[in-house]
Chains A and B, each alone.
Chain A
Amino acid sequence: MYALTVENLSVAYDKKTVLENACVSVPTGHLSAIIGPNGAGKSTFLKAILNQLPNKVGRVEILGKVFEPKSLVVGYVPQRNAVDWDFPTNALDIVLMGRYGHTGLFRRPSRKDKILAQQALTSVGMEDFADRSIGQLSGGQQQRVFLARALAQNADIYFLDEPFAGVDAATEKTIIDILKDLKAQGKSIFVVHHDLQTVKDYFDYTILLNKTILASGATEDVFTPEQLQKTYGGKLFMMQNV
C-alpha cells in the first residue's frame, strides 16, 4: 500500500509553472523528508496534495484513494506564520479544534474530545499551558500546539510544513521523537524540511523537489552529493561537510 502516489502533478500560477510533472510513490510507514531550495514549490506541493489548489493538473492518491477531507486521514501541520497568533483563545482550544472533524457539524465537543485534546497536549509536553493565551506562547510552544492538534485528530498520515524552523532544541527533540513514535505505530509522515544537516538522522525516506521531483527513495540512496547538487544547483555551499 502506498501512503502517497503523485502522477504528473503540475501547478501553474499566471504565466509561471511552479510544479511540473511531479511523480512520486511512497510506501506507508516511512518518515519522509521533502527537501529543496527556496521557491522550489514545496509548500505548493503540499497544498496540491491537500487538494486546496483548483488550478492543478495530475493525479494525487493518499492511502490508495483520492483524498476526501471528511475522512480525516490527513493530519496537516502548517507553518507557524500561516496564522495570526493574536487570536483570542488558549492552547487547549486550538488542540481541541483537531477533534472538530470527529465531533461533527452542529455538535459541541464531547468530554471524550476534551480528554483526547488534553492527552495530545501532554504528549507534546504542553499540559501546563492548556489555559495559556496563544499569543503568549513562544515559537516552539506554538509549533507543539499545532502538532498536538494534528495528533488529537488521530490521522493516519501527517504532512508537516517546516516544523523545525525557528524552534528551540528541546522542541525539536520533542517533535522528532513524536514523529518517530508515529512511524513506529505504522503511520506515514511527510515533512517539508529545511535543515540538510539533520536529514540523515531524522528521515528514512527522502524526496528531492525543485519544480519537479528529481529523486525519491531511501535516504541513504537518495541523499547523496550528486543528487543534492542536481536539486540545489549552485545554491549549495555546505555539501562538503555532509
Chain B
Amino acid sequence: MLSGNLLWVLSGTMLLGIAAGITGTFSFLQKQSLVGDAAAHAALPGIALAFLLTGQKELPILMLGAGITSALSVYCIQWIVSFSKLKADAAIGLVLTVFFGIGVVFLTVVNRSPLGNQSGLNNFIFGKAATMTKADLMWLFISATIIILVSLLLYKEWKLLIFDPVYAKGIGLPIEALKATLTVLIVMTIVTGIQAVGVILMSALLIIPAASAKLWTKKLSSMLVLSATIGGISGITGTFISAMRTGLSTGPIIVLVAAAIFFISYFISPSGQISKYRRKMQFRKQGELG
C-alpha cells in the first residue's frame, strides 16, 4: 500500500504533528492546554454555519468559518474569566460544550438540507486522514510553514511573555498583540488539522507532545524542537501503522503513539518516575545516616 496517497498522508500528518507540537508547547507553558481543546470543539459551529450561510462545501470557506468560531471561543473564555467570578476551568468547559452544542444544532439543520452530508459529525470528531487530498495537504504545508516561521520570528518575544510577563510589559512589548498572534496560530493549526484528523486528535496533538517534551528539558528552545519532533514522529508512525492494517482509522493510532511516547518519557526521562524513585531512595538513605 505504499502508494502516492500514503506519502501524502504521511507528509500531512507529520507536518500537522510538527505544527501542533510547536503551538501546543506555547499553550502548555501558559497553562492553556485545555483552551486548545475548547477551540477545537468550537470549530464545529463555524463549519456548519459557513455551509448554511454560503451553501458552499469548499474547504477554504469552511475553514474560515471554523477559524472564526474557534477564535471567538478563546475570547469568550477570556471574557468570562475577567468579567465574572467564574474560574478558568469552568469557563473553558462551559464554552467548549455550549459552542459544540450550537454546532450540533447547526449540523442537524445542515444534515436535513439537500446538500448536507450525513457523516459530517463523524468526520469532525474522527477526521478522515486516510482520504486526505492534495488540497488538504497544501493547506497543511502552508499552515505548518507559517507557524514555524512566525514562531522563529517571535521566539524571543514569546519567551519573555511566558517566563517574565512583568518585565515584558515593562519594556513595552505589545502583550495583547503577541497573545493574539499565538491564538491565531493555534486556531490555524486546529482548523487545518481538524478536517484531517478530527477534534479529539487535535486536542491530543496540542497537549501530549508538549507535555512529553517538558519531561526532558526545561529550556524553551529544546522543548519546542522536541515537541515538534514527537508530534511529527507520532504522525508518521501512526499513519504507517494504520496503513499496514486496513480498517484502522489513522487518528486514534496517532494519538496512541503520542501517548506511548508520553508514558515512556514519564518513566525514563530525567524528570521521570524512575529517576525520582532513585533519588528518593538515595535521599532516604542519607536521612537514615544523618
Interface residues of B in 82-128 (CB under 8 A from A): 85, 87
Q: Does B276 contact A (CB under 8 A)?
A: yes
9 closest A-B pairs (Cβ-Cβ)? A57-B287, A86-B85, A10-B287, A12-B283, A21-B290, A57-B284, A8-B290, A58-B287, A8-B287
How far is A14 from B276 in the complex, measured between Cα atoms in Å?
A: 7
Q: Does B280 contact A (CB under 8 A)?
A: yes
Known: A14-B271, A86-B85. A55 touches B280 (CB 8 A): yes
Question: Which residue from A10, A84, A86 sits with its C-beta under 8 Å from B283?
Answer: A10
| Chain B interface, DSSP helix/strand/loop, else mixed | helix
In the assembled complex, which residues on chain B have CB atoms less than 8 Å from the CB atom of A84?
87
Interface residues of A, Cβ cutoff 8 Å to B: 8, 10, 12, 14-15, 17, 21, 55, 57-58, 84, 86, 135
Q: Does B279 contact A (CB under 8 A)?
A: yes
Which chain B residue has the least Cβ–Cβ distance from A15? B279
In the assembled complex, which residues on chain A have CB atoms less than 8 Å from the CB atom of B284?
57
Which chain A residue has the least Cβ–Cβ distance from B289? A8
Which chain A residue has the least Cβ–Cβ distance from B282? A12
In the assembled complex, which residues on chain A have CB atoms less than 8 Å from the CB atom of B290?
8, 10, 21
How far is A84 from B87 in the complex, measured between Cα atoms in Å?
A: 10
Question: Which residue from B85, B87, B276, B283 sits with its C-beta under 8 Å from A57?
Answer: B283
How far is A21 from B288 in the complex, measured between Cα atoms in Å?
A: 11
How far is A86 from B84 in the complex, measured between Cα atoms in Å?
A: 11
In the assembled complex, which residues on chain A have CB atoms less than 8 Å from the CB atom of B283?
10, 12, 17, 57
In the assembled complex, which residues on chain A have CB atoms less than 8 Å from the CB atom of B87?
84
Q: By CB atoms of chain B within 10 A, which of A10, A14, A57, A86 has the most? A: A57
How far is A135 from B84 in the complex, measured between Cα atoms in Å?
A: 13
The answer to whether A12 and B279 touch across the interface, beta carbons within 8 angstroms, is yes
How far is A152 from B22 in the complex, measured between Cα atoms in Å?
A: 53
Q: List 6 A-B contacts (CB under 8 A).
A: A12-B280, A21-B290, A55-B280, A57-B284, A57-B288, A135-B85
Interface residues of B in 250-290 (CB under 8 A from A): 271, 276, 279-280, 283-284, 286-288, 290
How many residues on chain B are close to A (CB under 8 Å)? 12
Beyond contacts A8-B287, A8-B290, A58-B287: 11 other A-B pairs, Cβ-Cβ < 8 A, are A10-B286, A10-B287, A10-B290, A12-B283, A17-B283, A57-B284, A57-B287, A57-B288, A84-B87, A86-B85, A135-B85
How far is A15 from B270 in the complex, measured between Cα atoms in Å?
A: 10
Which chain B residue has the least Cβ–Cβ distance from A14? B271
How far is A58 from B283 in the complex, measured between Cα atoms in Å?
A: 11
Which chain A residue has the least Cβ–Cβ distance from B280? A55
Which chain B residue has the least Cβ–Cβ distance from A86? B85
How far does the Cβ of A15 sit from chain B's closest Cβ, in whole Å?
7
How far is A86 from B86 in the complex, measured between Cα atoms in Å?
A: 9
How far is A55 from B271 in the complex, measured between Cα atoms in Å?
A: 16
How far is A14 from B272 in the complex, measured between Cα atoms in Å?
A: 10
How far is A118 from B132 in the complex, measured between Cα atoms in Å?
A: 69
How far does the Cβ of A21 sit from chain B's closest Cβ, in whole Å?
6
How far does the Cβ of B147 sit from chain A's closest Cβ, in whole Å?
32
How far is A10 from B287 in the complex, measured between Cα atoms in Å?
A: 7
How far is A21 from B287 in the complex, measured between Cα atoms in Å?
A: 8
How far is A8 from B283 in the complex, measured between Cα atoms in Å?
A: 12
Q: By CB atoms of chain A within 10 A, which of B85, B271, B279, B287 has the most? A: B287
How far is A67 from B87 in the complex, measured between Cα atoms in Å?
A: 35
How far is A78 from B39 in the complex, measured between Cα atoms in Å?
A: 37
Q: By CB atoms of chain A within 10 A, which of B85, B271, B280, B283 has the most? A: B283
How far does the Cβ of B216 sit from chain A's closest Cβ, in whole Å?
14
How far is A12 from B276 in the complex, measured between Cα atoms in Å?
A: 11
In the assembled complex, which residues on chain B have CB atoms less than 8 Å from the CB atom of A14?
271, 276
How far is A83 from B287 in the complex, measured between Cα atoms in Å?
A: 33
Which chain B residue has the least Cβ–Cβ distance from A84? B87
How far is A17 from B284 in the complex, measured between Cα atoms in Å?
A: 12
How far is A152 from B85 in the complex, measured between Cα atoms in Å?
A: 30
Q: By CB atoms of chain B within 10 A, which of A12, A17, A86 has the most? A: A12
How far is A182 from B178 in the complex, measured between Cα atoms in Å?
A: 54
How far is A14 from B287 in the complex, measured between Cα atoms in Å?
A: 16
In the assembled complex, which residues on chain A have CB atoms less than 8 Å from the CB atom of B276?
14
In the assembled complex, which residues on chain A have CB atoms less than 8 Å from the CB atom of B288?
57
In the assembled complex, which residues on chain B have CB atoms less than 8 Å from the CB atom of A135?
85
Which chain A residue has the least Cβ–Cβ distance from B283? A12
In the assembled complex, which residues on chain B have CB atoms less than 8 Å from the CB atom of A55?
280
In the assembled complex, which residues on chain B have CB atoms less than 8 Å from the CB atom of A21?
290
How far is A55 from B276 in the complex, measured between Cα atoms in Å?
A: 11
How far is A84 from B276 in the complex, measured between Cα atoms in Å?
A: 32
How far does the Cβ of B207 sit from chain A's closest Cβ, in whole Å?
22
In the assembled complex, which residues on chain B have CB atoms less than 8 Å from the CB atom of A17?
283
Which chain B residue has the least Cβ–Cβ distance from A55? B280
